Amino acid sequence: MSLSYKDASKIDEIMQLDDQDKMLINILQRGLPVCEQPFVDIAKQLELSEQQVLNRLESLLDNNVLSRFGPMFDAACFGGAFTLAALQVAEENFDKVTDIVNGFEQIAHNYKRDHQYNMWFVIATESQQEIEQVISKIEQATGLDVLNAPKLKEFYVGLYLPA
Amino acid sequence: MLDSTYQPNNKPAEPLSSLERKYILLTQNGLPIIAQPYHWLAEQLAISIDNTLAMTKNLQERGIIRRIAAVPNHYKLGYRFNGMTVWDVEDSKAEEFGQKVGALPFVSHCYLRPRKLPSWNYNLFAMVHGKNHQEIAQYRSQINTLLSEILVNRKQQNDQPFKNCDMLTSTKILKKTGLRLKNKNTDNSKMETT
């Protein structure tokens, strides 16, 4: 089931959080300990019971303040190939090209950005060969040249947003 | 437990054991919110809790698990602005300075990517996030200070200078899906984006 929405800011209103929620979010963004009772230490830091921590975590997930909780896998380890690609799309064709590009199941993310290259998307496939195929199909369907910018080196991947 | 691991190259896919595949399939949608989530996992994998903890640590050491963590919804926390900062830096210095940029606390992703002249002359990408435009503009300016000595002054064919840095802000999410490992037993292990 694919989740696709045009404007996330309309769905996601800013949430008012108390200090303990904020601390919990910040601690859990940094990581859950690998041990038998991983929430015990966190509960101590927050001066809450273990059960209260679990209740808060569950409600943060229910309210979509947290979008997920668990191991974050390096997708490259699943096998497969990835690239970041971009198109220069004329404004009057933007919706049409969006539909064409998003129509490929191999497109994982797609963002509109303010630049001559105004459409940026991640292609995720099983093989390098399939990346080339998707790019060439997008070029045929849109009549536009795809900028293919696969990562050559990775220096950091990790997001910490203090609540 | 931050995943600030520097990887010199694109890693080849790690061979996964069938138990490791099962681990990924069980947890890729998240852990259950219970006091002993690793016990739950041990039961599902039909192995001991000690083996489950050891396997988890091993997957982390090999970089297959980046972190076991909560992922916040940017918008709900007020982070409505993101900027993809892009830089045309000297190739010989790109690795050294890429690591410095990646180490900045407000940078979430930092990659070296190929140029495609003449339409795209930037080779270093760093993503920044903030609660307003001034905040991400300030981050961009901090990166600029760090990179100033290695920015390339490149001329276009018509002798006009190329810009050597830019920040592309996102104006709309057009599509956003997660990457999933599919169950080998139900199909041909095709990776799908769900």
Tell me the pLDDT tens digit for each residue of B4-36.
Answer: 333 334 455 668 899 999 999 999 889 999 999
Q: Does residue B180 surpass a pLDDT of 90?
A: no
Average pLDDT for B131-139? 95
Task: Give the pLDDT confidence score for residue B184 in this predicted structure.
Answer: 54
Q: Does residue B183 surpass a pLDDT of 80?
A: no
Chain Cα centroid distance, residue A110: 10
Secondary structure element (H or E) that encloses residue B43, with its range: helix B37-45
Class of domain A18-72: mainly alpha
Cα–Cα distance, B109 to B91 (Å, whole number): 19
Task: Give the pLDDT confidence score for residue A81 in this predicted structure.
Answer: 87
Residues of chain A with pLDDT under 50: 1-10
Task: Give the pLDDT confidence score for residue A16 in this predicted structure.
Answer: 81
Query: Where do we find the tokens 């083996």?
Result: B51
Predicted ipTM > 0.85: no
Domain ranges of chain A: 18-72, 75-149
- pLDDT-derived band of residue B65, with 50, 70 and 90 as boundaries? very high
Cα–Cα distance, A157 to A152 (Å, whole number): 14
Q: Judged by CB atoms within 8 Å, which residues 68-127 of A form the interface with B? A: 68-80, 84, 86, 88, 98, 101-102, 105-115, 117, 119-121, 124-126
Q: Which CATH number fits domain A75-149: 3.30.470.20, 3.30.70.3460, 3.40.50.450, 2.60.40.10?
A: 3.30.70.3460
Domains of chain B: 18-71 (1.10.10), 81-169 (3.30.70.3460)
What single DSSP character describes residue B90?
Answer: -
What's chain B's average pLDDT?
Answer: 86
Q: Judged by CB atoms within 8 Å, which residues 157-176 of B form the interface with A? A: 166, 168-176
Task: Give the pLDDT confidence score for residue B193 in this predicted structure.
Answer: 35
What region does B159 belong to: left with phi over 0, alpha with psi -120 to 50, or beta? left
- The token duo for B174 is 């057009």
Q: Do B71 and A72 touch (CB under 8 A)?
A: yes
Phi and psi angles of residue A68, each rounded to the nearest 5 degrees, phi first: -160, 165
For the beta carbon of residue B40, count every other beta carbon within 10 angstroms. 16
Q: Does residue B117 surpass a pLDDT of 70?
A: yes
Please list every residue in chain B whose beta carbon sits closer than 8 Å to the beta carbon of residue A15: 76-77
Query: What's the pTM value of the predicted model, to 2 decimals?
Result: 0.79
Nearest to A28 by CA among A82, A66, A55, A74: A66
- In the structure, how many helices (H) and strands (E) does chain A have? 6, 6
Task: Give the pLDDT confidence score for residue A9 in this predicted structure.
Answer: 42
Task: Give the pLDDT confidence score for residue B1 in this predicted structure.
Answer: 26
- Measured at the CA of B133, the angle between CA B130 and CA B139, to 5 degrees, comes to 60
State the best of B4, B5, B33, B39 to mutate against chain A, taking most chain A CBs within 10 Å.
Answer: B33
Cα–Cα distance, B83 to B133 (Å, whole number): 9
Task: Give the pLDDT confidence score for residue A11 in this predicted structure.
Answer: 53
